[in-house]
Homo-oligomer: A and B are copies of this chain.
Amino acid sequence: MYTLARNYSKLTDRILRKSLLPKICSIEDSLRFFKDGQAIGWSGFTPVGYPKKIPVALADKIERTGEKMKFDLFIGASVGAETEDRWAKLGMINRRWPYQTGKNIARGINTGKIQMGDIHLAKFAQNLAFGFFTKEKGGKLDLALIEACEIDDEGIILAGSVGATPEICQIADKIIVEINTTFRSFRGLHDIEEDLKPPFRRPNLISRVDDRVGSTHLKVDFDKIVAIVESDQKDNGRPMSAPDKTSETIADNILDFFQNEVKQGRLPKNLLPLQSGVGNIANAVVAGLVKGPFKNLQVWTEVLQDTMLDFFDNGKLEFATSTALTFTPEAFDRLYEKWDFYAPKICLRPQQITNGAELVRRLGVISMNTPVEFDIYAHANSTLVGGTRMISGLGGSNDFLRNGYITIMHAPSFRKTKTDPYGITSVIPMAPHIDHTEHDLDILVTEQGLADLRGLAPRQRAKEIINKCAHPVYRPILTEYYEMALKDCLARKVAHEPQLLDKCYKMQSNLAKNGTMRIDKW
């Protein structure tokens, strides 16, 4: 890791490959490369390191002129609402893979106007490179639009995320670069290895969280770069709310579990590399670890959030790898102020690597993610409310849960509705959409308790999940369902995983009709 002397410099100082200087143009000028029907890839991940100026300028133009332009949009994960969500509002998105956030884009997807598909994030990047998403264009993208810090003769220094940018640049016919001059260069923070396609793939030699096997640069074909513009728009990562009581109780349950695993010899004293999703519970878990008894910890995850800086500050976190720095502006300021302290402890990698089965399994990652809901046999729904309405997408949850050493899903046991403070239970008879199967999940945890499902058969799991995870107001309802299903299936000699297909979604119907999943009778 080496540090850049140049800071907050002007655009031309950031383009050390001087043959590219003639490609500098105004944002307005760069818009001529956009044409209706194009397949476009952007840099960016949850929402950092994405192009911020050109998408907005193009949207402004479309709004002004009423011109019709629709794109197929491929981005590692979500980007800022002012870009993709605005595009959705203006009807500029035909297809969107594999994740998104924003009211307008979600509405477009759920009203049949936008074709969205979600897929494991590591698989997304490779399948994009294989040409599977753009078969009609010979596997290519028309355009890549990426944010960067610098360009020199070795390649591009990316900004706050890597995501699927390497694959996007690899298959794009043309590349447009937004160089962000509002913050220092992130030179030295990235590790990007070229991923060859089968049958030429080689072993990835990372065997520790802090191993480096690639380049600090994204190597691209410079001849593809058709325009370079300056960006003066800062990143604006996810704000976080302070952990609530429920999240803290869930975090306590998980920390107790870790302590027992260490005691039983199933985890080393400094645990194993931690993966933690986004959201309140994830933050509470990290906050708990910051205060907790474990030292020399490591993180191997998808996004680093603000609390990771506290974790570094108190010396308990040794190293963290992710594919994005999902920091708030305040946390970015902290990072820049103590750059020489934090930067050597952080590595940003492509999402194929952070989320890839190979590394998640090898490193023995402890995976923790929040689902919408899970059922009494440990199938979890992460994506579709009521089985049909898309929220954001699968994201990397199954990349980690399918391959981790210990795989944990955490959720509050209930949520309120307008008419019932306990209107929605997270523990249900049968998940109406399944992203994670019973074969993937080891531990389910709510503020009520922790169900350790390792080695349990389905009928044993049902009891454990109902008794440990369900809220007391739902426990009798779920128990009654399970016993009814068991009786019926035993009578028919089909009782490996008892269910009643004519009743299993009755709680969901009741929610739609009466505003609560608390049903009076089955």
What is A's interface to B at a CB cutoff of 8 Å?
95, 97, 107, 109-112, 115-120, 123, 126-127, 130-135, 138-139, 197-199, 201-208, 264-266, 268, 272-273, 356-358, 361-364, 379, 384-390, 394, 398, 402-403, 405, 430, 432-435, 437, 439, 442, 454-460, 485-486, 489-490, 493-499, 501-502, 505, 508-509
Contact = CB atoms under 8 A, between A and B. Distances in A.
Contact of A457 (B117, B130, B386, B402): B117
Contacts of A490: 111-112
Contacts of A265: 131, 138-139
A40 to B, nearest CB: 15
Given A207-B202, A388-B496, A501-B386, A132 B454 contact: yes
Nearest to A126: B361
Contacts of A264: 135, 138
Contacts of A494: 110, 385-386, 388-389
Nearest to A197: B364
15 contacts: A120-B439, A127-B454, A130-B266, A131-B266, A133-B454, A139-B266, A197-B364, A198-B363, A199-B272, A199-B363, A201-B363, A357-B358, A388-B498, A434-B434, A434-B437
Contacts of A460: 115
Contacts of A362: 198, 201-203, 358
A134 B357 contact: no
A384 B497 contact: yes
Contacts of A135: 264, 266, 454-455
Nearest to A362: B201
A456 B117 contact: yes
A157 B457 CA distance: 33
A486 B388 CA distance: 10
Most interface-central of A109, A117, A139, A499 (chain B CB within 10 A): A117
A9 to B, nearest CB: 39
Nearest to A130: B266
A264 to B, nearest CB: 7
Contacts of A358: 357-358, 361-362
Nearest to A366: B198
A349 to B, nearest CB: 15
A51 to B, nearest CB: 23
Nearest to A206: B203
A223 B474 CA distance: 53
B132 A455 contact: yes
A501 B198 contact: no
Given A135-B454, A199-B363, 7 more contacts: A95-B455, A107-B493, A111-B490, A199-B208, A387-B497, A434-B434, A502-B509
A207 B199 CA distance: 8
Interface of A is mostly: loop
Contacts of A119: 439
Contacts of A138: 264-265
B509 A501 contact: yes
Contact of A133 (B118, B272, B455, B486): B455
Contact of A198 (B405, B486, B493, B495): B405
Contacts of A505: 501-502
Contact of A203 (B117, B203, B456, B486): B203
Most interface-central of A131, A358, A388 (chain B CB within 10 A): A388
A319 to B, nearest CB: 12
Contacts of A199: 208, 268, 272-273, 363-364
Contacts of A127: 454
Given A199-B268, A498-B388, A394 B439 contact: yes
B116 A364 contact: no
Most interface-central of A120, A134, A208 (chain B CB within 10 A): A120
Most interface-central of A111, A130, A199, A206 (chain B CB within 10 A): A199
Nearest to A122: B361
A496 B390 contact: yes
Contacts of A458: 117
Contacts of A509: 501-502
Most interface-central of A204, A387, A439 (chain B CB within 10 A): A439
A501 B455 contact: no
Nearest to A387: B499
Contacts of A388: 485, 489, 494-499
A490 B454 CA distance: 40
